[in-house]
Amino acid sequence: MSQAAATALDTDTPDVLCVRDVPFAALESLLARHGLLLHRVRDGEAIPGSFWGEPEAGVIAHNVYVRGDTPVHSMLHEACHLIVLPPERRAQVHTDATDSDIEEDATCCLQIILADDLPGVGRARLMADMDAWGYSFRLGSTRAWFEQDAEDARAFLRQQGLPHV
């Protein structure tokens, strides 16, 4: 997440889809297909493993933590950080999962792809939410990056044996 996104957390929150807007069972099922457990934290409580702080999702090993006000793009982003990691590295993750630029790019690419598996989300809405939240790509928008500049991220995902790329 960019500094702009972190700043957005301290001021006006953009209108983005949140966990409460998507059937929780669909979120759980998507993560379970990748060996992850989704945990709902009560509203107002701290989110374990949240790098950016509430309402951003948190990660600890194979666990993803969210509240109702956690943006769906945040849940997917943090989950995808875990998905792109080999199991031995995933087990060591607590709060900060990124180890390299290519892992970060692969995470962004995969979260867009997996958004199509969530009812009422889809990649177009997720990319719009990422832009609204402040993700920053050199081509100016998430869509431009995904469509024109993410081949290295797709190649990394294929090397990891991940589907849909």
CB 16 within 8 A of CB 129: yes
Q: How many beta carbons lie within 10 A of that of residue 134, not counting itself?
A: 16
Residue 150 and residue 15: Cα distance in Å, rounded?
26
Q: Give the Cα separation of 37 and 14 in Å (integer).
A: 27
Confidence bin at 40 (pLDDT 50/70/90): very high
Q: Is the peptide bond before 55 cis (omega within 30 degrees of 0)?
A: yes
pTM: 0.90
Whole-angstrom CA distances from 79 to 31, 33, 58 are: 7, 11, 9
Average pLDDT over residues 32-47: 96
Statement: residue 13 has pLDDT above 80: no
pLDDT score, position 21: 97
Q: What is the 3-state secondary structure (H, E, C) of the chain?
A: CCHHHHHHHHCCCCCCCEHHHCCHHHHHHHHHCCCCEEEECCCCCCCCCECCCCCCCEEECCEEEECCCCEHHHHHHHHHHHHCCCHHHHCCCECCCCCCHHHHHHHHHHHHHHHCCCCCCHHHHHHHHHHHHCCCCCCCCHHHHHHHCCHHHHHHHHHCCCCCC
- Chain-wide mean pLDDT for the chain? 90
pLDDT in tens, 75-126: 999 999 999 998 889 999 999 987 799 999 999 999 999 999 999 999 999 9
